Amino acid sequence: MRMSRVSVVGLNLRRSLPMRAVAMHCVRTQTERSEAIFIEQRKNDASRWFSNAPLGFVGDSAPPRAQNGGLVSFNGRVGRECANIIAMKPVPFSLHNRQRRVKAPWSDIAARGARAAAHVTAKYPEEFVAIEKIEVSVLSDARITRVHAEFLDDPTPTDVITFHHGEILLGAETIAANAVRHGTTLEDELLLCIIHGCLHLAGYLDASPHDFRRMKVEQERILGKFPMP
């Protein structure tokens, strides 16, 4: 589990709104310089693809499959000199269970989480240019409380903390309690928290009532697309 102390832009967003809430904090930890380097690498990947693209390829058509299997989004005319080219590689996803109190079918949850994350990254590719991977770690409430206190000055357990570089931390016992409270399954509550974290990485906010409702609708919509097998 990696966490770097650079900057924090999240506050404690937990509040009693008249709707189901998933407490989430987005923590920015990646520097602008590293983002710029990574974006430039993606642009170089796209330039290599376009140098081998067939003549007559139309730049305004749907994003094509690149040679590496990812998506290429672009605007302007086709060619090596094409401006604002971003090559979107598939963003790797992994889930690691680092606690023992809460039992769950972790391999099934990881598979559903990977599909849900791929759905989000495909819908908002530009937001994931500087994210090398999405790494989910399931922690005990004791451990996530320490992280919550260190990065957000709130020494209480929470269900989700997301770091700007793509790391998502889940509080297992809090999520299990929320599943009981909201009358859902543990598996669906875990997936909902993964989706919530991915949407924060995609630029969604939930600080205001309007943003909260917008994010809630989107995460519930995505959750419905990936039922348990």
Per-residue pLDDT reduced to its tens digit, 80-128: 333 333 445 689 999 999 999 999 999 999 999 999 999 999 999 989 9
So what's the pLDDT on residue 78? 37
- Residues 105 and 176 reside in one and the same domain: yes
> pLDDT tens digit string along 172-227?
999 999 999 999 999 999 999 999 999 999 999 999 999 999 999 999 999 999 99
Domain limits for position 124: 24-32+91-225
Q: What is the mean pLDDT of the chain?
A: 74
Mean pLDDT within 2-21? 31
Residue 16 lies in a domain: no
Q: If 0-12 CB within 10 Å is exposed, 13-18 middle and 19+ buried, where does residue 180 land? A: exposed
So what's the pLDDT on residue 92? 96
Q: What percent of the chain shows pLDDT beyond 90?
A: 58
User: Does residue 45 carry a pLDDT above 60?
Assistant: no
Residue 162 lies in a domain: yes
CATH code for the domain in which residue 177 is found: 3.40.390.30
